Structure 1
Amino acid sequence: MNKPFTRTLAALGLALLLPGLAAHAEERSFKLSAGDPIDAPGPQGAKLFSEHLKASSGGALNVKVFPSAMIGNDVQMLGALPAGTVEFALVGAPTLVGLVKEFGVLDLPYQFNSPAEVDAMLDGPMGQQLLAKLEEKGLVGLGFWEIGFRDLTNSKRPIEKWEDLKGLKIRTVQSPIFRTFFEHLGANAQPMPINEVFGALEMHAIDGQENPISLIATQRFNEVQKYLTLSEHIYTSYVLLMSKKTWDSLDDAQRAQVRQAAEQARGEQRAIARKANQDKLAELKDAGMQINALSDEQRQRFVEQAKVVTEQVRGNIGADFVQAWQAELARVRESH
């Protein structure tokens, strides 16, 4: 074989190989949608996730965060993700109940006693079972992040006992268990996307809403709400979601980089959320909100009503799953 012919073959082989190498090294840009303002703990965690992923992928995987429901609210994101038109979203876990009924177990009122219990359950086998159920819906669950324990605000009166909720129009997240709980307490539950709540409060279309302290502050609800009750009635998490279509387009190394970045950001985001839920309470008080905590006696009366609601909705979630969840929660309590 003569040398010119050998060189021609080598050049041809290199030409065929180079496009593949170029494609493999090609930078990719993704959109991550979040419903809350950029200074809220969720989008702050999303920014950290973006930074970690860019670093671990050597700049090949780039995520741009779109806060404040700029490209859609949580419900809209659940439609966009499977198609891959949006690649990532940070959604409230209650939104997922419509897709996977077992996610309703996270919405049961007064079931967690501490953040440590929450972390053990969500990061443990039962939480992972929930995330695994998302794949058949075209979603990949990358972990649970923190929204937090929810408190009540309204413009009418302090809530000192559950009967004080009677007749109040309270915005809830779009989960049937929230609606069942508040209607059981005598309130008029109004499911609504978070980006519509301020306007509804301002126009007095609703009397109140319920969210963790950090979101009450970053959503500026104190400007249109006078009373804040530290009820801590339901714990809510975010779920970091990825389009399965996009996930399937990544190679194994890139998937590992995504999971690593999500896990790293998860702990950081939870720390941000927990600090914000402490720090923002003083800001809300300084801003003029009238704040009250439930007495131990009245809190226990809320807990008793929560037990009634849990029994009512158990079948809707899946009785066997609820039983397994509660057994694991009891085991976690014993180990802590």
Structure 2
Amino acid sequence: MSNLFIRGVAALSLALLLPGVAAQAQERTFKLSAGDPIDAPGPQGAKLFAEHLKAGSDGALNVKVFPSAMIGNDVQMLGALPAVTVEFALVGAPTLVGLVKDFGVLDLPYQFNSTAEVDAMLDGPMGQQLLAKLEEKGLVGLGFWEIGFRNLTNSKRPIEKWEDLKGLKIRTVQSPIFRTFFDHLGANAQPMPINEVFGALEMHAIDGQENPVSLIATQRYNEVQDYLTVSEHIYTAYVLLMSKKTWDSLDDTQRAQVRKAAEQARSEQRQLARQANSEKLAELKASGMQVNTLTDEQRQRFVDQAKVVTEQVRGSFDADFVKAWQAELQRVREAN
């Protein structure tokens, strides 16, 4: 019997006697990209996801979070994930419209009346249908997290009626529905990645932008914007994505661990986002921003314009999906 064989048997015996050694050899570390600063609710939720996954896998599955688009913006991540340049990404749902047009249904203005409606829709069967559409694009959708209801800021004037937007250059996310909506209101929509927005505002290349309060604060837009209008015109979600190639490389137990960690972090992240969107408004006021909230009458005038846009763009979605989506939203409203 050769010395090589004896050493091999001894090594195998040691691994069986010390399972921690074998487990350590199977440890994996993944990268998770997020576009927002580390103190924003999205990356904070990503850190919670990493903690839950590490604990749930007994340290075998580890995630390192890269905030502030350090390794790429949302659009770039949609190519990086299938190529496994990065294994996870937290992206804004509007970014996904370029891959799956039906994601645009989430961008319809003034369709949600509350976060309760949002949660029921995104966590329910219609939200899951949207996530399932991503697999053929090399992505696995692990759930919807919260960015929040979006509000307007600008450096020119208070926005009290939709006509006040006429001629303003407003940065929007890279979704055609956003552009259609703001162009319809008379603004000049300027789609661009979020990591370019502060500089564009500072240089007056654009007049304003629209985001939830938490991101207006963490992106420091109050330093380059004078006016904030609480318009809550569109709700936006994050989507936690995973490379399907990486997903397929995991065993069933590991996949269950990933899904459980994502669900745990989702609930916690939403709480963080909603708390931040509430608390940061007072901070923005204290910083000197002039803040106004649309009255019911002013809001209704925006809603009426939104209906026109919805009719214009609904043909870009699968007709059966839109019909099912609207029926489910009606059912959710009646249940609440």
Give the TM-score normalised by structure 1: 0.95
Output the amino acid matched with 1:111. Answer: Q
Aligned to 1:36, what secondary structure does the other structure show?
A: coil
Distance 2:84 2:296 in 1: 48
Aligned to 1:256: 256
Distance 1:200 1:209 in 2: 10
Distance 2:8 2:191 in 1: 62
Output the amino acid matched with 2:55. Answer: A
**Within 5 Å, which residues of 2 pair with 1:181-196?**
181-196=181-196
Aligned to 2:250, what secondary structure does the other structure show?
A: coil
Aligned to 1:51: 51
Aligned to 1:268, what secondary structure does the other structure show?
A: helix
Give the TM-score normalised by structure 2: 0.95
Aligned to 2:139: 139
Aligned to 1:99: 99
Aligned to 1:113: 113
Cα offsets for 1:80-104 (capped at 9, x unmatched): 0001110000000000000000000
Output the amino acid matched with 2:43. Answer: P
TM-aligned CA distance change 1:24 to 1:231, over 3 Å: same
Shift of 1:243: 0.3
Aligned to 2:79: 79
Q: Considering only aligned residues, what root-mean-square deviation do their CA atoms show, in Å? A: 2.0
Structure 1: unaligned runs, 5 residues or longer: none
Distance 1:44 1:23 in 2: 28
Output the amino acid matched with 2:33. Answer: S
Aligned to 1:292: 292
Structure 2: unaligned runs, 5 residues or longer: none
Stretch moving more, 291-300 or 318-327: 318-327
Stretch moving more, 321-330 or 97-106: 321-330
Cα offsets for 1:287-307 (capped at 9, x unmatched): 000000111111001001111
Structure 1 residue 215 and structure 2 residue 238: aligned? no
Shift of 1:22: 3.3
Aligned to 2:237, what secondary structure does the other structure show?
A: strand
Output the amino acid matched with 1:139. Answer: L
Output the amino acid matched with 2:154. Answer: N
Distance 1:113 1:105 in 2: 15
Shift of 1:321: 1.3
Distance 2:184 2:274 in 1: 29
Aligned to 2:155: 155
Distance 2:25 2:334 in 1: 49
Aligned to 1:32, what secondary structure does the other structure show?
A: strand
Aligned to 1:225: 225
Aligned to 1:229, what secondary structure does the other structure show?
A: strand
Shift of 1:10: 9.2
Distance 1:14 1:126 in 2: 54
Distance 2:109 2:216 in 1: 19
Distance 1:24 1:222 in 2: 47
Distance 1:23 1:39 in 2: 33
Aligned to 1:146, what secondary structure does the other structure show?
A: strand
Contact 2:23 2:60 in 1 (8 A): no
Report the count of equivalent residues. Answer: 332
Distance 2:173 2:56 in 1: 35
Distance 2:190 2:120 in 1: 32
**Within 5 Å, which residues of 2 pair with 1:29-48?**
29-48=29-48
Shift of 1:324: 1.0
